[in-house]
């Protein structure tokens, strides 16, 4: 029998090689489709694993191109203390103490009439870390390893000129879910070239993804799971209302292959003058509305699946093309490079939307491909731990 004897040096070398191999395997998988197709994140930067929440915070915000691997749960709860102050019980909370959602008085929301007639002031106690996201600088790849990369108690904020960011295969969760204004999972505002892929978002106080009032420019959301199941619901039915908010200036948003489930509204809400291509997403178990297209919003929705969605499109004060028929969908070819795919519906309301005058805005831009609506392929592939 032949034995191999390892010296201490060779053992260390072997361990380092294994670690480096794991890190290399955790580099960005695939390339973005759609508007953010040019995003490269940290590019060729060597992938590194932060040792602590403080080191992660530093690496995310600095000006160095980085590939940051999350190989465990980074728990920010309690790291900035708690706050007790006057908030409110909004009029929407018709089940206090039994699954409703109260509110933090952010931006005077409780006192400027937004909480609704009949709202009352109450004391609220919340985790301070959740209400402000981790600052993310330019040229960053933030990647989860396997199904281990979790951010608990704090989201991500890409703003103030930051650009070229990739967020892939991580789970963001537990941002004061009992309170409206408890925190946003991913915020993009005054940025460009952002790709969010194969991530999961759950138990968020406010928005799961928000493109702020400033220009977010080119963004792609792909293969993500937006999980709205919650014990604190603004609609008192175990489903999250504050989903995806796209109301920025000059925003170009591709939503492809996302699984958006157990929500009750704003999934997404669109406005400003955002141009949105929503293709091959699955909207499932929504007791309120999926799309809400406000003034200025321009949307092509094709190849999507609506299963148990009460109201696929709440309002259309902007322009909306809902791929109504095979013959009508041929109009997409000139601007999107393909005939639009029909949407599919099961136990759901209708979508509607026949506006076409805005489609020339897609010309010359990177457009995601489209395929026949297929619930199984979307649901099975979306979320973290699946690449």
CA-nearest of 176, 227, 223 to 201 is 227
Q: What are phi and psi of 386, to 5 degrees?
A: -120, 10
Residue 266 falls in the annotated catalytic set: yes
Would you give the end-to-end CA distance of the chain in angstroms? 40
CB 267 within 8 A of CB 244: yes
Q: What is the C-alpha to C-alpha distance for residues 165 and 41, in angstroms, rounded to an integer?
A: 5
Q: What are phi and psi of 50, to 5 degrees?
A: -70, 145
Q: What are phi and psi of 149, to 5 degrees?
A: -85, 100
Torsion of CA 116, 119, 122, 126, to 10 degrees: -30
Catalytic residue among 23, 89, 206, 266: 266
Residue 252, classed as helix, strand or coil, is strand
Buried b (16+ CB within 10 A) or exposed e, 147-183: ebbbbbbbbbbbbeebbbbbbbbbbbbbbbbbbbbbb
CB 137 within 8 A of CB 166: no
CA atoms within 13 A on the CB side of 338: 16
Q: Is 285 left (phi over 0), alpha (psi -120 to 50) or beta?
A: left
CB 201 within 8 A of CB 185: yes
Q: Is 223 left (phi over 0), alpha (psi -120 to 50) or beta?
A: left
Q: What is the C-alpha to C-alpha distance for residues 321 and 360, in angstroms, rounded to an integer?
A: 13
Q: Give the active site residues.
A: 266
């Amino acid at each position: 029998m032949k034995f191999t004897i390892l010296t201490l040096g060779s053992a260390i070398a072997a361990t380092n090689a294994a670690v480096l191999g794991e890190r290399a395997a955790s580099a960005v998988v695939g390339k973005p489709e759609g508007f953010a197709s040019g995003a490269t994140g940290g590019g060729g930067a060597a992938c590194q694993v932060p040792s602590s929440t403080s080191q992660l915070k530093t690496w995310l915000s600095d000006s160095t191109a980085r590939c940051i691997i999350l190989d465990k749960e980074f728990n920010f709860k309690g790291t900035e203390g708690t706050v007790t102050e006057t908030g409110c019980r909004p009029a929407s909370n018709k089940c206090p103490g039994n699954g409703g959602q109260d509110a933090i008085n952010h931006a005077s929301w409780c006192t400027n009439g937004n909480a609704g007639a009949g709202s009352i002031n109450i004391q609220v106690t919340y985790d301070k870390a959740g209400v402000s996201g981790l600052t993310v600088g330019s040229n960053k790849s933030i990647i989860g390893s396997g199904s281990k990369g979790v951010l608990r108690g704090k989201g991500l904020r890409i703003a103030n000129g930051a650009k070229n960011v990739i967020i892939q295969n991580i789970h963001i969760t537990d941002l004061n879910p009992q309170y409206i204004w408890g925190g946003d999972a991913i915020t993009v505002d005054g940025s460009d070239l952002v790709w969010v892929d194969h991530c999961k978002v759950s138990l968020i106080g406010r928005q799961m993804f928000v493109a702020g009032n400033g220009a977010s420019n080119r963004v792609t959301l792909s293969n993500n799971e937006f999980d709205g199941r919650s014990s604190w619901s603004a609609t008192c039915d175990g489903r999250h209302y504050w989903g995806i908010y796209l109301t920025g200036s000059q925003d170009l948003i591709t939503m492809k292959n996302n699984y958006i489930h157990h929500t009750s509204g704003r999934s997404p809400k669109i406005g400003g003058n955002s141009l949105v291509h929503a293709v091959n997403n699955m909207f499932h178990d929504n007791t309120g509305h999926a799309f809400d297209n406000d003034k200025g919003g321009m949307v092509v929705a094709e190849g999507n699946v609506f299963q148990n969605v009460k109201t696929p499109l709440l309002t259309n004060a902007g322009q909306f093309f809902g791929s109504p028929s095979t013959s009508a969908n041929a109009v997409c070819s000139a601007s999107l490079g393909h005939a639009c795919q029909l949407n599919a519906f099961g136990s759901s309301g209708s979508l509607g939307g026949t506006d076409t005058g805005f489609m020339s805005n897609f010309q010359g831009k990177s457009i995601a491909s489209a395929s026949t609506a297929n619930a199984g392929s979307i649901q099975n592939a979306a979320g973290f731990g699946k690449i």
